Amino acid sequence: MSRRGLPVGPPPEDLMGPLGPAIEESPFLRPQRRTRIHPRRRGWITHVLLTVQVAAVGLLAVVGAWTAWQRVFASERLRVEKLEVRGSHFLSEGEVRALASPVVGENILGLDIEALKARLRASPWVADATVTRALPDTVRVEIHERVPLALAELDRLYLMDEEGGLIDIYGPRTGAFDLPIVRGLLGVEEESRRDRARRAGVLLADLAELGGEVSEVYVESTGDLRVVLRGPGEVLLFGDPPYRQRLVTFLSLRRELAERAPGAEHFDLRFRGRIFAKHAAAPPRDATPGGEYAPPAEANAPGGTGGAASAQAPDGHREGPRGMD
pLDDT (tens digit per residue) in 125-183: 999 999 999 888 899 999 999 999 999 999 999 999 999 999 999 988 888 889 999 99
Where are the domains positioned within the chain?
76-145, 150-312
Q: How far apart are CA 76 and CA 137, in angstroms?
A: 9
Q: What is the C-alpha to C-alpha distance for residues 281 and 66, in angstroms, rounded to an integer?
A: 83
- CA distances to 34, 119, 124, 162 from 178, in Å: 99, 30, 20, 16
Give the per-residue pLDDT at 6. 53
pLDDT in tens, 284-313: 454 444 444 344 433 333 333 334 455 555
Residue 73 has pLDDT above 50, yes or no: yes
Cβ(321)–Cβ(309) below 8 Å: yes
Burial of 149 (0-12, 13-18, 19+ CB in 10 A): buried
- CATH fold for the domain made of 150-312: Rossmann fold (3.40.50)
Residue-level pLDDT at 51: 83
Q: What is the mean pLDDT of residues 258-277?
A: 91
pLDDT tens digits, 173-191: 888 889 999 999 999 999 9
Q: How many CB atoms lie within 10 A of CB 145?
A: 18
Between 324 and 221, the more confident residue is 221
**What pLDDT sits at residue 155?**
93
Question: Pairing relation of β-strands 235-238 and 225-229?
Answer: antiparallel
pLDDT, tens only, 229-251: 998 899 999 999 999 999 999 99
pLDDT of residue 300: 33
Q: Could you tell me what percent of the chain has a pLDDT over 70?
A: 69
pTM of the model: 0.64
68-72, 105-109, 137-141, 314-318, range with greatest mean pLDDT: 137-141
Nearest CA among 244, 251, 242 for reference residue 313? 251
Return the SS3 of 303. coil
Cα 139 from Cα 95, distance rounded (Å): 16
- Sheet architecture: strand order including 138-145: 82-86, 138-145, 126-134
What CATH number matches the domain at 76-145, 3.40.50.720, 3.40.50.10190, 3.40.190.170, 3.10.20.310?
3.10.20.310
Mean pLDDT score of the chain: 78
